[in-house]
Every structure is written in C-alpha cells, then in structure tokens.
C-alpha cells in the first residue's frame, strides 16, 4: 500500500517534491504534520484541521498508551475512528516521551521500563510492544523504538544508544513484517548525536535492515541551531535517495525552509500549536506576539491577505482582547492561523520546487520574514 514517488527535484539545492501513498490517502511532500499528542491537535476539530490544509497528523504512542489505553481505542478499531480523522496518521514510538517525560526510566537491551508521569504506575516498553501499540492505534506510518539521549559530547554514550537503536530496529522490523506490513509503513530512526561518523554507522545499520522511510532522531534536543543544520546536512544525503526522509521534532518556519533545501521531506513540531496558545503568531513578515499593546486598537487581521478562518473574520484587536481575557476561543483562533500558515508555507515550497524556483523562493522568504 505504501509508496513514495519523487515528482520534482530542485537543480541548485537538494529540495524535492514528492507523493506518499498510504492506506488513508496521499500526502504531498514536503509535508508538515501537526502534532495531535492525545488524539487531538490541541483546540482544533478535524474539520478545522482539514480546512487549514492538514494532510497528516502525528499521534503520540506514549500518551495514548497511558491514556485512554489500547483497550478503549480497540473498540473503535484504531485512532482514526476514535478521533474522527480519516486522513493519514503517523505515530511516534513512545521513545522520545519516555526519555523526556517519564520518571525513573531504565534502559536495557530488551527495552525500557518507566513510571508514568500521570500516576507513577510502572510500565515496560519493548521494541515489539511499541510496534504492537502503534498497530492498535491503526497508524499509517509506524516508527521504530529508538533510544534518545540529550545533547551530549559523550561519544561512548552516544555510540551505546546508537547500537541499541539499531538492535531494536531489527526487532521492530521483524514484528512489523509479521503483523502490519500490508497496512502501514515502518520508518527507522537514525541516531548518533553530533558525531557525523556515528550518524554514518547508524544509517548503514538501518539501510541494511531496509525500511519504508528514514527519520533523523536526536535533533532538537538542546543543540545549537547551526549544529542541528550541520548534522542534517551531512546525514540526509547518506539516506537512500528514493525513500522519504523525515526530520523529527523540528521546527521554526526558517528551519523548515533550510531543511527542505537539504533534502528533507517530512516534519513535525509543536511550535505552531504551542506558540499559538502562548499568543505567538507566524506571518510572512515575521512573528508577532498578539498580547503586545500596539495591537490594542489594530483593526487589521493578523496577516492581510491570509485566507484562514481567523484572518477572514477577526482583527488583531479582537484576538488580543480574547487572549488577554484568557477566553478559550483565543487558543482555537490563534491555532487555526498558525496551522494554516505552516501548511501554506509547505505548499509554497512544493510549488517552488516544481517550478525549479526554490532558491528564489527561499531568498524572498528570508527577506520578508526579516522585514
Ligand atoms: Zn490567518
């Protein structure tokens, strides 16, 4: 069912435009996936997501496994029906959240044991169990369990995590092949931290196992931006050209444009949704904070010419008022605009790649954002 086709490639950068076919429909790339942690992209209905142009969303295995749990989601034969979202869903493996949220996590070659951040209950996640939970969620794109480590220059520690990730990747591939091969795709996750040679070893191990696509993990974990871009620049070309390349957990609009230029096809990040709830809104002419007093009497929309529901109907003055009064509608209207902005940015990049004008687009994008 799953396949990936590159439609156009930019001549002067590594940017490419493609099509991903999944069991729940096609995804045009490059693509940004809004994060739907607990079976909802915070504050938006699925209709609002579709209206904003979302093609695929991300669900978090760790969160959904703890709450509501697989026996509830099984009643609906997966997350799609449970949350009323008919388009594709990518699920993460749970690894990142265990290492960042759970208490007392302990890693062995078999897997990881941890205590829930909600009630302290004890759980064990193995590579096999992570895949089984993602199958229960009905995921279209399943991710292998990987061991994430924080930003570190400890080479031995990084190599250990990489080796364990490769070993877990084999186990994930085996169980996925047995149980879900025809219904979904399985992506391997490259580790290796800030060490280019370790990234190379990680890529070689994963490519030998052979996955439907590949992700760069262990980025956006506290490293400076230039290091993130440097690692992406050296690692992305090592991955098989004809497979989708996903940079996990990144980023700002500028990051997305930089990474598309380096050949990345897929992204997810909480920035557009989380920042919307903090009053930060993205526009072509820079990022604004809606609580700023200069918007108190501003009758213009957040972004003139923006076709989103929020900009078609509401002024900056009204959005500022809602935000200052902590009205619930503020979160929804701000999120609608930010998701729409991210989706439009991806569409503009795709169209520029198709016309082989990506470099011109990028130059104009940077000029406008700085203006
Ligand atoms: Zn808008």
Q: What residues form DSSP beta bridges with 31?
A: 266
Task: Report the range of poorest mean pLDDT among 51-55, 103-107, 358-362.
Answer: 103-107
Rounded to the nearest angstrom, the gap between the alpha carbon of residue 269 and the centroid of all alpha carbons in its chain is: 5
Q: How far apart are CA 255 and CA 216, in angstroms?
A: 14
Q: Which of 51, 92, 146, 210 is catalytic?
A: 92
Count of other CB atoms within 10 angstroms of residue 332: 19
Look at strands 25-29 and 112-115 and give their pairing. Answer: unpaired
Q: What does the mean pLDDT of the chain come to?
A: 96
Percent with pLDDT over 70 in the chain: 100
CA atoms within 13 A on the CB side of 313: 7
Q: What is the mean pLDDT of residues 323-352?
A: 98
| Residue 38 alpha carbon to ligand 1 centre in Å | 25
Q: Which of 255, 258, 265, 268 is catalytic?
A: 268
Residue 154 tokens, joined: 């400890």
What pLDDT does residue 98 have?
86
What pLDDT does residue 103 have?
76
Active site residue 92: yes
| Residue 308 alpha carbon to ligand 1 centre in Å | 4
Report pTM.
0.97
Q: CA nearest 345: which of 319, 290, 308?
A: 308
Task: Report the range of poorest mean pLDDT among 8-12, 162-166, 221-225, 299-303.
Answer: 221-225
């Amino acid at each position: 069912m799953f396949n990936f086709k590159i439609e156009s490639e930019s001549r002067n950068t590594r940017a490419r435009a493609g099509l991903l076919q999944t069991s729940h429909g096609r995804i045009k790339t490059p693509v940004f996936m809004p994060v739907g942690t607990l079976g909802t992209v915070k504050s938006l209905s699925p209709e609002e997501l579709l209206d904003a142009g979302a093609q695929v969303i991300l669900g978090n295995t760790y969160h959904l496994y703890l709450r509501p749990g697989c026996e509830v989601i099984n009643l609906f034969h997966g997350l799609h029906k449970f949350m009323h979202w008919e388009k594709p869903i990518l699920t993460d493996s749970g690894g990142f959240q265990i290492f960042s949220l759970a208490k007392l996590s302990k890693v062995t070659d078999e897997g990881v044991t941890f205590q829930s951040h909600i009630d302290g209950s004890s759980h064990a996640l193995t590579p096999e169990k992570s895949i089984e939970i993602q199958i229960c969620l009905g995921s279209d794109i399943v991710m292998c369990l990987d061991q994430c480590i924080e930003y570190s220059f400890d080479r031995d520690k990084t190599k250990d995590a990489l080796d364990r990730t490769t070993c877990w990747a084999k186990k994930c591939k085996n169980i996925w092949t047995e149980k879900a091969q025809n219904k979904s795709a399985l992506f391997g996750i490259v580790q290796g931290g800030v060490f280019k040679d370790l990234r190379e070893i990680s890529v070689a191990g994963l490519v030998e196992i052979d996955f439907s696509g590949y992700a760069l993990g262990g980025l956006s974990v506290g490293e400076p931006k230039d290091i993130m871009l440097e690692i992406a620049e050296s690692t992305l070309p090592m991955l098989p050209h004809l497979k989708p390349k996903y940079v996990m957990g990144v980023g700002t609009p500028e990051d997305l444009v930089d990474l598309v230029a380096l050949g990345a096809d897929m992204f997810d990040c909480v920035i557009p949704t989380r920042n919307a709830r903090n009053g930060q809104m993205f526009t072509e002419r820079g990022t604004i904070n809606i609580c700023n007093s200069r918007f108190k009497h501003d009758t213009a929309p957040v972004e003139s010419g923006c076709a989103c529901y929020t900009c078609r109907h509401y002024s900056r003055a009204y959005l500022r008022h809602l935000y200052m009064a902590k009205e619930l509608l503020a979160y929804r209207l701000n999120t609608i605009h930010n998701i729409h902005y991210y989706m439009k940015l991806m569409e503009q990049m795709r169209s520029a790649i198709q016309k082989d004008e990506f470099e011109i687009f990028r130059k104009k994008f940077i000029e406008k954002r700085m203006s």
